Structure 1
Amino acid sequence: MKRNANRYKRRLIPLAVFVVGLLIFLLIVSRLAKNEEMMMRDRCSLNAQIYADELEKDFNRSSIATDMMAYMIMDEGGMPRNFAKAAAGMMQRSPYIDSIQLAPDGIIADVYPESARIIGKENLFALPDRVQSVTYSRDNKATIIQGPFQLSEGHEGLAVRQPIFFENPDGTERFWGFSIVVLKAPDIFESMANDLKATHNEYRLSKTEPGDDEYHVVLASREYLDRPEAQTFFYGGCYWKLEVMPERGWQPSFPLVLSFLLGLGIVLLLTGMTMLLLKLQERRSHLHRMANTDSLTGLYNRQGFDEAVSKWLRKHPEEKATAVIIDIDNFKLVNDLNSHRAGDEALKNLARTMQQHFSDVAFVGRNGGDEFCALFRGMSAAEAGPLLDGFATRRHLFRYDGKVHSYTISMGYAEYPTQARSRSSLFQCADAALYAVKLRGKQGLSQYQPHVGEAGRSQLAFGLQDIAMHLPGAILIYKADEQEEILFANLELIHLFDCDTLEEFLAYTNGTFRGIVHPDDYDRVETSIDEQIAASGSTGTDAVVYRIITKKGRLRRVLDKGRLVDTDFYGRIFYVVLLDESSWD
């Protein structure tokens, strides 16, 4: 009986090990299949995002020609004199451009090359297949892309149309027409299509038309895609959607029959399978980190930061924390004066500084552009305030192109849960506090106060240039060097010289302070200004009376009240208010 029992065990245990091992193996195989599909989906999603971004960049690079044509038209007050030469140069720099066109009042007048002209002077507003898109572009002042459509050469093209408006003397705008770039539809997509096919992916690119929500297929490697990963973006008044899936579908790469046979060695393979699972999980984690990290600065991006903050708040619903929004002051000026690469260096510098000062006690991230965010864990506003104050008021320096540049920041902060109990409300409060700093003149720190609302924010809607251009007084800014180059003149000053536009005023005065002062008064005026500035106890201000000659030949006497100021970007400059003799009383 015992012998029978042992025999039964010898048979049952191996059978049990086999069955259990086979079940475990089948579970592992099932898990592998799911993980592989997830990995394939992550890879397809990443490919869709990468090539959608690249496609958007190609559009941007190719449509620069419309911007350049628009600037030429506005600079020359109408049709450019050297259209063909300028168009030829632009087409040499972009291989995707089929032709460049100008359409004053919507009528195609100039085409380069001329061989690309389909018929005579087409009126875009009279063509049934184009009137909707050009009307949308004009009425919404938006650059749009229409197509693809058949070109005369037998291939397809996309039309990028940018509306051009001139400002009338009374402040209204007048529609001039369109600058148009026709892109070669197959060529601009060729690199994306070849790369996706080379990596064994199927794809489909679709777009809407301006003002329409229905997608139309532009390019596809096959007619039907099975549950593809998609990435959408908005460009040229259209929504674009790039869908990607593996060439072989979502099926696992290993054959199921062979997998079943390999189940006989499940015990020996269990360790290897576990290692493979860990490898797949590591891959997924890597892709997750890429999706949540800002590529330029290495900080959390908006999605990653929101996830980290939300998770911490869920775990510590009653623990104090301080939310901070940080913004680089005059960041556009950094880009405009030094290039966008300099702006990138400033962003990376601020990110490194935040990590050095805050990473031990806070989550730090980049919202986008020049705006950063942080959440100080377990710290009240009173505890975080001194740390933030020192960081806000310090001078931030970065090196670019062999030179040291500086920038300042503004910071707003709010306390959790005292001032807000949700992540979104908390950072809205911090954002309102940031705007309070902006209202005070930037470079500083402010804690959220309930009275900082829309009424205070409305002041920021008035840009300094808009205010200066419409103040009832002539304002002049020029460099305090030998050239005395004019940097700014408002409308009042332009009209004081009987000019209508800034260009006309700069041409009349040669763009210098010397061109403003009557020639017989210039030496006296310069001497008087230098003596007043150099006088003991001077605050850098001066006042002097001199004559000017307007463009119409009228002689006027003005009072010049100026102040010499040192700036980071322009060096020493004069801010001046000119008062006509008729307004001295």
Structure 2
Amino acid sequence: MGLNRQHQIWTAIMGIFLLSLSIMIGFKVGESNIQAKRTRAREVGNAFAQQINRDLYNGLERVQSLEKMVYDNNGKVKNFKDSAKLLKRSYIDSIELLPHGTIKYAYPHPYGQVGVQLEDSQELGEILHSVVNSRKLTSFGPVVTRSGDRLLIIVDPVFLKNTHLWGYVIVTLKVPMVYESSLRSLERVDYDYQFYAERSMTNQHLDLIESSLPTGQDLKNPVSRTFVIGNRKWKLTLAPKKGWRSSKGLPSFILAASISSVIMIWLVNYLKTKERDEKLKELAYRDPLTGLYNRRGFIEELDKQLPQASCLTEVFLDLDDFKLINDLYGHSAGDLALQHLAAYLKKSFPPNSIIGRTGGDEFSVAIVNQDPAESQLMIEKAIGQKQCFEANETEVAFTISAGFAEYPNQGRGIQDLMAKADEALYAAKMAGKNQAFRYQPFMADLSREQLGFNVKQLAQGLPGEFLIYKADGDQKIIFANEHLIQLLGCRDYDDFIDFTKGSFKYFVHPDDRKQVADQIQKQIAEQKENRGSYDVHVIYRVKTKDGQIKRLVDLGRMIDNSNYGKVFFVFLEDQEKLAADRK
């Protein structure tokens, strides 16, 4: 069973909401995971920046040790080679002393790397000049030697106690050996890196000196750590080898989407169950033909509202002569009549009224919180209007009868109130129908026995022959009782209709037809006073099915009928039998 339109819209909205929520959860978790990775990367960057800082500082300490040795000896160099050997490390390429700017002491290279590579360099001259002016240790490079080695050069000016410039201490560090261990550790923990340094004290442009990426590639959205050592700015940038992709965003989305799917499945099943329960309740509490409450639904709804109502009028209504509509026009016409009345009652009473079909052609209306006098006017107005509908291209008319009782004046409980409205309805029926009666105590004592007879039973109980036919047109026979059927020697009513061709015209002997028609018209014309009915008295012959000729005395009355128009009700007596009875 599919969902109704309203529930389809709600589930679609809920599905969109849950999908959006799942996407948002996946995005937020992924974003949080990336932020956590960036925080972790910053922590890693800080740790490795400090480690590289220590690696470089080891080289600076050796320069400062030599500078102190010269200073303490007031410019005299003693045991240089022994001291250099003590200070030498695998990552140190050379240790050099330059009194008055000229290389005089070098270890292990006899002429020194700087002297070989940069003694004619304009850049070295600028750097030495800056070092003297600042009186601070500095570094520059890495520079590439003729042999292809990369060296980081640390320069420290030596001023004696008399503040005169003695010269320079220079140490060259092998790059990347000096910090290679730290950089390799970064790669082992799955980080790519790029390492930058200012060119020198005189040139603050940051040059890329080391990178784990192929030439020409840059890190995407890296974190960075900047530090200063040797009066130069250094910068370490890094990013995860796999990029900043979240490892938790997609699983979080899948988990949220799975939970959302379970919720949606539960919701759809819940709504289907609810709709099924509502449909079963509809079947249990609603009349399928009219869509109104059935008796059970009406009583239950009335039971809910009655305790809260300040006043209430309970009305019982039914169609007058409903069986006749079914007999004349068929049961489909009867269904149309009931549907028509249901729609009419919904238009005739306030929207908060409770309306139900509580029996075959019986309806109930509870008018809630309306003044009793106003309710009575509504009921009388509804009853006073003749109802018409079309069935099989024929207009069918009917009237309504009603009885009503008031709460709390005339009844306290539902059953008491409905019983009194029912008694008022039958009082209206017994008084001639198409009326609305308010309950009165005497109505409880009215006998309903006369309502227990229908037309057929009454006609069969008459001591003679009885016939009803239309006065106009083809004089169609509408009814014949059993005595008349037997008089003509017919088996049953269908045989009687077949024998008479269903018409009063063919019921009369052919030789008497014109005479009978003229006499009836003459007698009607003589009754000048129009009382709505005309009495006629004629005698004519009929031919029975077995060929016998009988003379019948016809005592008839023509009246206007709401369903058939002008109709004759006729009592017939066999003239020969009547004469014998009189003797």
Per the shorter chain, which TM-score range?
A: 0.3 to 0.5
If asked which structure has higher relative contact order (CA below 8 Å, sep 6+), I would say 2
Tell me the TM-score normalised to structure 2 length.
0.48
